[in-house]
Amino acid sequence: MQHLGTDLARAASVLRSGGLVGMPTETVYGLAANALDVVAVARIFSAKNRPHFDPLIVHLSDWTEVDRVAHEIPSEAQLLWTALGPAPLTYVLPKRPEVPDLVTSGLDHVAVRIPQLILARQLLATAGVPVAAPSANPFGFVSPTTAQHVADQLGDQVDYILDGGACGVGVESTIVAWPEGRAMVLRLGGIPVETLTEILGYEPEIRTSTSKPSAPGMLDAHYAPGKPVRLMAHGTDWSQVTVPQGIQALAFAANDWVASLTTHGDCAEGAQRLFAALREFAASDYRELWIELAPEVGLGRAINDRLRRAAHRAED
């Protein structure tokens, strides 16, 4: 496919000229556009079929760029950056007026992320503009973790897909905000809450509530594979489970009975493989998925958050 490749200069020039790029990051692939170009940003929303009340993350090549889009940076944001550097972490910061309201859905804060993947930062540096990028999936579907996933789901709507290989982290960034001075986690993701606690010296409140208009991307029934998903408790004894025909069973760690998400029960491996596993289930003939939850610690919490959303079915 001609519009998928490893041409970084081409990807950067597409961004500069108002086009859409499938951008690799360490978490998931993004659907990227120049954040300061309202027409380009509007194309993101229509390509994804994304409601305009759902704000976008702005990606920068380095922390030194943060002043271009935000101001009055909380000292704890600086502290996290100093400790972590480029990481699967998104900072919600007071926005500068230069950032179009379309990017932030009219909020006075902007979500900022400096990705860990070097190729992503090279692309951002070469493009030389702040880049708005939601995950490169149609709204409500599973996030893409390979360039091919982006091509499969968004095809011709993307001008160029930069292939950076499979995403190493596999779940989206952790989102942290400072609504009342103290850090608050708005989305569980690639940086474990335990890591933030260690750096901040206190445990940030976790408010990933799904009904809040301030983080509408955290809707229930997000990451939907389109078929029923049943959650099995972590530690399920699969030797005691009778799996009916037509149902796919996926344990967390390898065992003698059913297939598994990981080999040794490692959460980093589980996160990395999660969305591809959901995607394979969606494309398979199985009518239902029985999947075992991860342990409720570290990256396991982000995995379980995504699984609970995948298992959630719309009430109607």
Beta strand 184-187 with 174-177 is: antiparallel
**Least Å distance between CB 162 and ligand TXA?**
12
**For tokens 């301030």, what's the residue?**
214
| Among the listed residues 160, 53, 183, 162, the one whose alpha carbon sits nearest the alpha carbon of residue 115 | 162
| Residue number with CB closer to ligand TXA (44 or 253) | 44
Q: Which partner in Mg ion, ligand TXA, none is near 311 (CB below 5 to 8 A by kind)?
A: none
**For tokens 């000292």, what's the residue?**
75
**Least Å distance between CB 309 and Mg ion?**
11
**Least Å distance between CB 305 and Mg ion?**
12
| Residue number with CB closer to ligand TXA (114 or 291) | 114
| Residue number with CB closer to ligand TXA (134 or 265) | 134
Tokens of 13: 């020039």
| Residue number with CB closer to ligand TXA (154 or 251) | 154
CA separation for the pair 170, 143 (Å, rounded): 9
Cα torsion through 115, 143, 196, 62, rounded to 10: 10
| Residue number with CB closer to ligand TXA (147 or 258) | 147
| Residue number with CB closer to ligand TXA (86 or 88) | 88
Phi, psi for 311 (deg, rounded to 5): -85, -15
Q: How far does the chain reach from its first CA to its final CA, in angstroms?
A: 39
Q: Which partner in Mg ion, ligand TXA, none is near 265 (CB below 5 to 8 A by kind)?
A: none
Q: Which partner in Mg ion, ligand TXA, none is near 299 (CB below 5 to 8 A by kind)?
A: none
Cα torsion through 55, 275, 43, 100, rounded to 10: 20
Query: Which residues bind to Mg ion, rule: CB under 5 A?
Result: 135
Residue number closest to Mg ion, CB atom: 135
Distances (CA, A) of 5 to 100, 147, 151, 244, 278: 30, 9, 11, 42, 25
**Least Å distance between CB 176 and ligand TXA?**
10
Distances (CA, A) of 116 to 88, 107, 113, 178: 7, 26, 9, 22
Q: Which partner in Mg ion, ligand TXA, none is near 57 (CB below 5 to 8 A by kind)?
A: ligand TXA
| Residue number with CB closer to Mg ion (142 or 249) | 142
**Least Å distance between CB 79 and ligand TXA?**
20
Query: Which residues bind to ligand TXA, rule: CB under 6 A?
Result: 25, 27-28, 30, 54-57, 88, 90, 92, 104, 107, 109-111, 113, 133-135, 172-173, 175, 186-187, 214-218
CA separation for the pair 304, 234 (Å, rounded): 10
CA separation for the pair 111, 106 (Å, rounded): 12
Q: Which partner in Mg ion, ligand TXA, none is near 104 (CB below 5 to 8 A by kind)?
A: ligand TXA
